[in-house]
Structure 1
Amino acid sequence: MSKLIINKLKYTVITQDDGKYGATIPFKNGLNIIYGPNSVGKTSIITGIIYGLGAEKGLGIFKTIQNPFKPEFYNFIDGKTIKSSYLLLEISNGVETVTIFRYIKGGEVHLAAVKKCSADEFFKTEEVTKLIVSGEGVFSENGFQNFLFNFIGINQVELPTYDNKLSKLYFENILPLFFVEQRAGWSQIQARQVTRYNIKDVKKVAFEYIFGLDRFNLHLTEIKVKELEARLKKFKEELYQKEENLLIIANAEKSEEILIVNTNSIGKTSIYDYIRYLQEKYKAESEFINQLSSQNKEYEESNEKLRDSLKTLDYQFRKASEKVDKISIEIAGYESYIERINANKYKNKQLKKIKELSTDFNIKTCPVCEAKLQAQQDDECVLCHSELSKKISTPEQNLAFLEDEENTFKKVIKQRILDKLKILEQRNVIRDKIKEYESQLEHQTKTFAGKEFADLRKRILDADYTHKEMEKYSRIAQRWEDLKPLRRDITITDLELKKLNEEVSKYKQTVNDLNIINSITSYVKSNVTSLGLFKGNKALIESIKVDSNDNYTPYLDNYDIYNISSSSDNIRIILSYYLSLLQTSIKFKNVDSINFPNVLLLDEPKQQNLDNDSLIDCVSLIENILSDDAQVILTTYSELPSDRQKFEKHIIYEMKSKTDYLLKRLTE
């Protein structure tokens, strides 16, 4: 069974004058309450646990340069500059104990050092293993997540992503199922789920994974089905577009993957039969022309030369026309861009007027940041008090840039228009030559061939047309044949999709899955009742569902469960749910597939409008469900001494006043 126990957290902060500050927080099995007023450091204890587990992404920290701690851990403390700081986190899996060392400042924050010892013995032993906490390699042999998964006793898995790749399920993906962060965490279940790995349906698969549902493997199949459906749709759309284009070009229709063309000469026929017909016709016409042409050698040679020249000129004419079209499109693009430039110029002129109005109307404060305008320096924004080095350019600078860019594009347009005119002129020359050669060919036919060759030119033109038709339909046929691999991909994908759909359709929720989901649902209802949610409306409470339809979170068919009562009720729903996960994990402790680590980290639910009575009910509920197999760490506070008495036996660390801060001066 998977298990994670937090034994101890130790902070050490060293200042430039070698002064030492720190704190030691011991934990135990069962309920651990960290007690104290706001802003004394309760959340810093939770942050230390998460940071020690290499899961700061679960706090919203994604860059190494970002520090999840407050400034007194890495900047200044008591007015003194901090030279270095680190933490020691002692954890256990029920069998083995290790201590994790991580720098907060002054060392390699992307690494962690791990020793098989207690936190108190860490610096007394030599053997240490350095592991990669962030960046590439966290799941490598020297990766911290590789160590942590093995230590807790959970398997590493790879899941499909939205970009059709595979990604590991990271620790920060399962963390939101047993950690509720103080700010965003109480807004919804799994609020701090990390989606940056692009894992498909990550909330759903994280739940199925951590509770070892048999549906986890089915869900992977369903994800694969979605992937294949998307791929099949893409293939079919691509095939349809390409086929439609060829059908239009060939004036054809499709019948059983064969092109049926509609011709003037032989009517409807397959494209291959039509190509054979054109080949035979061209061969017969060519033989007839050659027979007539051989009677006059001079005519034959001149005629052949002119025909070749006409083909070349026709090709050149078409290419010139294509260039003209491309340049026209290019010019249209530049003109469109100039229109956007003019729109931007208008906006910047308006901004310039706003800037001038700040003087005309004697505006004394910036409407954005409310800073006093007269206190601005040359290196600050006139309106929003931002540093120019971090601000976009001024309206005047933008106008100058846009004017310059507009002039540049106008010059380019002018040049491209000249280029277009040159090509048009070249095309006209080619057209004139075509006419000249056609006239010459006609003259030669009449002059050299006599009456018996009067129709030779027509025959030649017919033969040329036949040849062009033959080449055209041969190209279309080849392009149609080139679609075979795409059709084959569609067939293979379709077969694979049908096979996977059959697997999904045969699935019936297993007894194991039903037992776990029913247990969570039952505990949610019981906890909701204990916490006084919905004013004891039994019918409403019994209507609560937990299943895959809403990522295995509580919901109602007829109402939005989070909008039918007060904001404090939302917190009680979330508390009820997370406690139900722990209760279910304890209940099924002998099921090896469950990966829930039997620990809950709940950071100050009272910050989110939870009243004292509900907090007391929550603590009572935790008291009744906890055993030696589980641990709950809760940060909270109440101004009432009577409330403290109710919590007292569970308080493992207390900060007694608003000036009793977590970090204290240490003496040697």
Structure 2
Amino acid sequence: MTTRLTDGENEWDVAESWVYLEIANQSGRVVTLRRKVAGEGGQDRRVIDVWEGSVLSQDSLPQASKSYFARDPGSAQREAGFGHWLAEFVGWDLPQVMQHDGSLCPLYAECLMPTFFIEQSQGWTGIQAATPKVFGIRQVEKKAIEFILAMDVCKTDSEKEKLEQETDELTKQWSTTRTQLEVIARVVKGALREIPHSPQAQWPPVPAPFVETFQEGIETSLDEAIRIDQAALERLDSVEIPTADEASNELADQLSEATEELAKAESIWRSLEDELEGEKVNLGALETRLATVEEDLVRNKDTKKLRDFGAANTLSITNHECPTCRQQIQDALLSQTFEQEVMGIDENIAYLAAQRQTLDKIHAQTNRAIAALQRRIDAVVNHSNELRARIRYLKRTLVSSGIAPSEAAVRERVVTDQRLSERINAKEEFERIIHAFPPLAKRWTELQANLKKLKSKERTKDDLNKLAELFSRFITALSEFGFDSFPLETVKIDHENYRPKREGFDLGYSVSASDLVRIIAAYATALLEVARTYPTNHPGLLLLDEPRQQNMQWKDFAEILKRLSRAGEFGQQVIVATSDRPEAIEELMRDIPHSRMELNYDDRLLKPVGIRETFTVNTGPEA
């Protein structure tokens, strides 16, 4: 239908083709769908036309069609999307589920189809094998089963994932707001204090958050630094700027003090650099030790695992036993008896885990110490640079004209005023931004309380009953369908992913190819039959495309069809497509209620209803 068609004798290129499909929902509403399959130009293949009523069984269209788009972003959320229309038509309220990137999206209808439509190419390779992964939905097969069975946990998980997404967004807002405050602190050559990196319920924290900066190389709060600068500026403004001659004696003393202070600052800087280098060496040693402990811990855990699995990984000779005659032997001349008791594997693991935890804490403390030392070094370097600049101005003033204003005094006023202005602006920005934290902390408290409440919820009685019903019907169907790879008493339904398992492994991993087909058919049948006892979201429709895979025995195939034929009694529909010979199917279905649509086995499904010849007429030259 997409490129070329043949009837066995002739072959034609496909210029354009369409597919029509007539469906009805549980309320009896009938619609006809049309979608383009091939052909260039005109209507795009992503457009699906919908007519109310039956178009295929009527000579004329009942009314104008309405178009929807599919296979394009928004098709499941927007009113013009076909996925949105289909969910409403079937009666599904699709939940929001979490994707691998942390965002939310609908549980698309395409993810539900493999629970009731087993197609030939991939459907028979495993339960829900054809589930699309392109949407990036976490645990998509599990979510599909929960929705199809209308389990309470589906709604709970949807609410939990919404809260988790909001939690992630709030964490990002908290981090972004804190980063803004860190930028403000760096403007005044300081650091942010007492604001946690991650959200917390208590606000304001104790002690209260503040910006730490440096005044003449000494750590102080931004508020205290502003107070010191304001006092200094008031003192400077209270007197006139002296001339070079008037300030010469005082400037000489200031020059001596500045030079002495610079030497002290450089000495502190060298000491801090040595201390920083020592901390970095300690950090490297800690990381090496951590890697060793981690390696030992993994090795011990692996040894414990092998021991628990019953592995015989010890040689008899290590037990002082001769491997030939089994007599006791000594492998040393001197006594090797130790009074000290050696720790066992479990004790080793506990000891190494505790050691790793301690080293992790020391590692974090060392990193914090390095960061603090680096801030102090930066502050001392900045203070040293200010002292060098001040010394230059003092020297220039002392050698300048005696009647000129003191350049050092002018600079001191300008520098103090500029620094004070920067600090006041930083404080105002800090106070403006920090007001964003109280509502974040309040919402964080609410989110954590709601998440705790949802996580503490156990499975409801209805959910447990539905799972028990699913398992019971699955086992009976599997037995009727001729499953014989191993005893069915060893099969369980995993309550985590709702798959049948045996000894902790999925059932399909250790069975014959024909038994895998039986497992898939039995599971799909059980899902359909649970809807007869409990309210579910199952559409009441099951489509099996070539279920007699792997040359299943005819008697087992007959049992599958016999069980599926009961669907009509409950208002359900089962469609089975097979390419087996008609006479074999007729004999097989002799005593099984069914409706059969038979096609000529030796003919083609698509065949011409007539040939339309295209030709041109030559009218000759124009008159």
Q: TM-score range by the shorter chain?
A: 0.5 to 0.7
Q: Distance in 1 between matches of 2:7 and 2:429?
A: 68
User: For residue 604 of structure 2, what is the aligned residue in structure 1?
Assistant: 661
* Contact 1:173 1:193 (C-alpha < 8 Å) held by counterparts: yes
Aligned match of 1:178 in 112, 116, 125?
Answer: 116
CA offset digits 1:250-304 (Å, max 9, x no partner): 267436342364756696643212221222123313434x35259989x9xxx9x
CA drift at 1:580: 0.8
Compared CA separation, residues 284 and 556, structure 1 to 2 (3 A):
farther
Secondary structure in 2 matching 1:219: helix
Is 1:563 aligned with 2:509? yes
Give the Cα separation in 2 of the matches to 1:83 and 1:472.
74
SS at structure 2 position matched to 1:501: helix
Counterpart residue identity of residue 493, structure 2: I
Q: Give the letter aligned to residue 115 of structure 2.
A: L
1:78 equivalent in alignment to 2:10 = yes
Q: 1:293 to 1:523 in 2, by over 3 A?
A: farther
- By how many angstroms is 1:472 displaced? 5.7
Residue of structure 2 equivalent to 1:131: 67
1:163, distance to aligned residue in structure 2 (A): 6.5
Supply the AA of the counterpart residue of 2:587. Q
Shift of 1:207: 3.3
| 1:267–1:207 Cα change, 3 Å | same
Q: Distance in 2 between matches of 1:75 and 1:481?
A: 81
2:464 is aligned with 1:514: yes
Superposition map of 1:504-543 within 5 A: 504-505=454-455, 507-533=457-483, 535-541=485-491, 543=492
Question: How far has the Cα of 1:224 moved from its partner?
Answer: 1.3
1:497 maps to which of 447, 452, 463: 447
Q: Distance in 1 between matches of 2:3 and 2:464?
A: 48
Cα distance change on mapping 1:250 and 1:152 into 2, 3 Å: closer
Change (3 A) 1:471 1:141: closer
Is the Cα contact below 8 Å between 1:612 and 1:638 reproduced in 2? no
Matched residue, 1:250: 190
Partner of 2:364: none
User: Secondary structure of the residue that 2:454 maps to in structure 1?
Assistant: helix
Contact 2:567 2:573 in 1 (8 A): no
For 2:235, the equivalent position in structure 1 comes to: 284
Partner of 1:116: 53
AA in 2 matched with 1:130: K
Matching residue of 1:356: none
Task: After TM superposition, list the pairs within 5 Å mapping 1:302-341 onto structure 2.
Answer: none
SS at match of 2:560: helix
Q: Counterpart of 1:653 in 2: which secondary structure?
A: coil
Structure 1 range deviating more: 135-144 or 180-189? 135-144
Indicate if the aligned counterparts of 2:480 and 2:556 stay in contact, CA closer than 8 A: no
Provide closer, same or farther for how the CA distance between residues 576 and 438 of structure 1 changes in structure 2, counting only shifts above 3 A.
Answer: same
What pairs up with 1:150-165 in 2 under 5 angstroms?
150-155=88-93
Amino acid of the structure 2 residue aligned with 1:259: F
Q: Measured at CA, do residues 457 and 184 of structure 1 come closer, stay the same or move farther in structure 2, by a change above 3 Å?
A: same
Cα drift, residue 227 of structure 1:
0.8
Closer, same or farther in 2 for the Cα pair 1:74/1:469, shift >3 Å? farther
Contact 2:31 2:51 in 1 (8 A): yes
Q: Structure 2 vs 1, CA of residues 667 and 241 (structure 1 numbering), >3 Å: closer, same or farther?
A: closer
Match of 2:540 among 592, 595, 598: 598
Q: d(CA) in 1 for partners of 2:583 and 2:441?
A: 73
What SS is found at the alignment partner of 1:562?
A: helix
Task: Name the CA shift for 1:144/1:558 in 2 (closer, same or farther; >3 Å).
Answer: closer
Label 1:113 to 1:558 Cα distance change in 2 as closer, same or farther (>3 A): closer
> What is the deviation of 1:596?
1.3
Name 1:271's counterpart in structure 2: 222
Q: Which residue of 2 aligns with 1:621?
A: 563
Alignment partner of 2:485: what SS? helix
Offset at residue 519 of structure 1 (A): 1.4
Moved more, 163-172 or 123-132: 163-172
Q: CA deviation at 1:581?
A: 0.7
1:222 aligned to which of 145, 160, 174: 160
When residues 189 and 88 of structure 1 are mapped into structure 2, their CA distance, relative to the original with a 3 A threshold, is: same
> Contact 2:22–2:33 at 8 Å: present in 1 too?
yes
Show the 5 A alignment for 1:18-57.
none
**Following TM superposition, by how much is the alpha carbon of 1:91 offset from its aligned partner in structure 2, in angstroms?**
2.6
Q: Which amino acid aligns with 2:605?
A: L
Look up the match of 1:353. none
Residues 97 and 118 in structure 1, CA contact (< 8 A), matched pair in contact too: no
Which range moves more in the overlay, 578-587 or 527-536?
Answer: 527-536
2:396–2:407 contact (8 Å) kept in structure 1: no
RMSD: 4.5
**Could you say if the C-alpha distance between residues 557 and 493 of structure 1 is closer, same or farther in structure 2, counting changes exceeding 3 Å?**
farther
Measure, in 2, the Cα distance between the counterparts of 1:239 and 1:609. 65
Aligned to 1:575: 521
CA contact (8 A) 2:150 2:537 kept: yes
In 2, Cα distance between equivalents of 1:97 and 1:568: 38
Tell me the distance in 2 between the aligned counterparts of 1:179 and 1:116: 24
Tell me, yes or no, if the aligned pair for 1:162 and 1:199 is still in contact at 8 Å. Answer: yes
Larger CA deviation: 182-191 vs 94-103: 94-103
Q: CA deviation at 1:537?
A: 1.7
Corresponding letter in the other structure for 1:653: M
Q: Deviations over 1:51-86 (max 9, x none)?
A: xxxxxxxxxxxxxxxxxx554569999313445444
Counterpart amino acid of 1:78?
Answer: N
Alpha-carbon contact 1:534-1:540 (below 8 Å) kept: no
1:208 maps to 146
**CA 461–534 in structure 1, closer or farther in 2 if over 3 Å, else same:** farther
Give the gaps of 5 or more residues in structure 2. 195-205, 252-387, 612-623
- Whole-angstrom distance in 1 between the partners of 2:242 and 2:512: 100
Residue pairs, 1:377-456, within 5 angstroms: 442-449=395-402
Q: TM-score, normalised by structure 1?
A: 0.56
Distance of aligned partners of 1:636 and 1:215 in 2 relative to their CA distance in 1, 3 Å threshold:
same
Q: Distance in 1 between matches of 2:142 and 2:104?
A: 17
**Structure 1 residues 500, 251: CA separation in 2 closer, same or farther (over 3 Å shift)?**
closer
Which of 557, 572, 595 is the matching residue for 1:630?
572
Q: Structure 1: give runs of 5+ residues left out of the alignment.
A: 1-68, 304-434
Deviation track 1:110-166 (CA, whole Å, cap 9, x = no partner) reads: 232424236322x24553423325357777666655554444344466666667766
Q: Work out the number of aligned pairs and report it.
A: 451
Q: Sort the Cα spacing of 1:79 and 1:506 in 2 relative to 1 into closer, same or farther, 3 A.
A: same
Aligned to 1:584: 530
User: 1:489 Cα deviation (Å)?
Assistant: 5.8
Deviation at 1:564, TM superposition (A): 2.8
Measure, in 1, the Cα distance between the counterparts of 2:244 and 2:9: 107
Q: Say whether residues 1:193 and 2:131 are aligned partners.
A: yes
**SS state of the match for residue 49, structure 2?**
strand
Counterparts of 2:223 and 2:512, CA distance in 1: 74
Distance 2:419 2:52 in 1: 81
- In structure 2, relative to structure 1, the CA distance for the partners of 1:645 and 1:133 (3 Å cut) is farther
Q: By how many angstroms is 1:504 displaced?
A: 0.4
Deviations along 1:309-362, one digit per CA (max 9) or x if unpaired, are xxxxxxxxxxxxxxxxxxxxxxxxxxxxxxxxxxxxxxxxxxxxxxxxxxxxxx
SS at match of 1:520: helix
- Counterpart of 2:596 in structure 1: which amino acid? I
Q: Does 1:544 align with 2:493?
A: yes
Quote the residue 1:20 is aligned against.
Answer: none
Are 2:596 and 1:652 equivalent residues in the alignment?
yes
1:266–1:79 Cα change, 3 Å: closer
CA distance in 2, matches of 1:157, 1:131: 25
Shift of 1:582: 0.4
Label 1:467 to 1:606 Cα distance change in 2 as closer, same or farther (>3 A). Answer: farther
Asked whether the 8 Å contact 2:226–2:420 carries over to 1, the reply is yes
